[in-house]
Amino acid sequence: MDRDLLDYAVELVEEAGGLAARWFTVASPRTTAAGASPVEVEVERLLRTRIAARYPDDAVLGKESEISAGTDGRRWVLDPINGTSLFAHRVPTFNVLLAVEDAEGPLVAVAGYPMSDELLYAGRGLGCWHALAGRPVRQVRVNDHTRLRGALVEMLNPLAWSEELLVTLHRELYLQPWTKGDVDLATGLADALVIAGAPMGYEDLAVLPLLIGEAGGRVTDLSGRDVLRGDGSVLATNGRLHDALLDLVAGLPHGRDFAALRREP
């Protein structure tokens, strides 16, 4: 693992986050014909330009543009604005995601929260680190909680969850809305994270295995498969609760047609 690569990835997310933050209070939620907002397009263009200048042989997979082919077996994965609807509605918990992969799998992962000037980042074999403005950078670890009942679990997209999944977890766990779930889990504030309903895209998921894994946790989809090859759902935990949570949700449908609520009967 090249520490310079991790440092540069962190610099990129800081720069991209600064651009996103400048747009935050003035940008319109309108989208382009392709469904992307101008902010997403501009932030991704910035990242691609910087990567191409420094690592011209690397491939780049972004959310708003086609993949740029590489020649050295390494690939950058970009989500310029993760939480587009949050950004559009002026909710300051959107983030900028960047991952780097090589032939062995996830190599670098960075999640930046521009509006709180906060970063969570990891390199393979280098641990997981948390940086918050005004505080020293620190290496972080998941907690060691082992009791399933009452475990604190952050949930994303619950409006799209099936009733069975929501009720089953609600009866056994302390559920709360996702705020900065990756940060909360990696720093020990939360015991687990669940994402279900509408499937997440690869760019949304690419940072999770390394961020949580280097903090000592575990990530799969809700069926226990590799999260990057699964069904777009996520179960991320401190590791100690993982198998018990998989058993709890085994066989349950994950999503529902929430859009049907707005259709005329």
Among the residue ranges 44-53, 79-88, 114-123, 246-255, the one predicted with the least confidence is 79-88
How high is the mean pLDDT of the chain?
92
Number of other CB atoms surrounding residue 28 within 10 Å:
10
- Split at pLDDT 50, 70, 90, the class of 264 is low
Tokens of 32: 């382009």
φ, ψ of residue 85 in degrees (nearest 5): -65, -35
Which residues on neighbouring strands pair with residue 100, listed in sequence order? 76, 108
- Split at pLDDT 50, 70, 90, the class of 32 is very low
Selection from 251, 188, 199 nearest residue 224 by Cα: 251
Q: Residue 233 pLDDT > 90, yes or no?
A: yes
Average pLDDT over residues 177-187: 95
User: Any idea how long the chain is?
Assistant: 265
- Split at pLDDT 50, 70, 90, the class of 33 is very low
Q: Residue 26 pLDDT > 80, yes or no?
A: no
Element spanning 77, H or E: strand 75-82
Binding residues for Mg(2+): 79, 81, 204
Q: Residue 34 pLDDT > 70, yes or no?
A: no
Tokens of 14: 């800081």
Among the residue ranges 19-33, 113-127, 222-236, the one predicted with the least confidence is 19-33
Domains of the chain: 3-139 (3.30.540.10), 152-249 (3.40.190.80)
Tokens of 36: 């992307």
pLDDT of residue 265: 66
Binding residues: 79, 81, 204
pLDDT of residue 246: 98
How far apart, in whole angstroms, are the C-alpha atoms of residue 237 and residue 54? 35
Q: Spell out the alpha helix ranges (H) of 25-77.
A: 38-54
pTM comes to: 0.92
How far apart, in whole angstroms, are the C-alpha atoms of residue 186 and residue 214? 9
pLDDT of residue 254: 95
Average pLDDT over residues 118-140: 96
Tokens of 176: 């709360």
Residue with tokens 């906060």: 118
φ, ψ of residue 222 in degrees (nearest 5): -70, -5
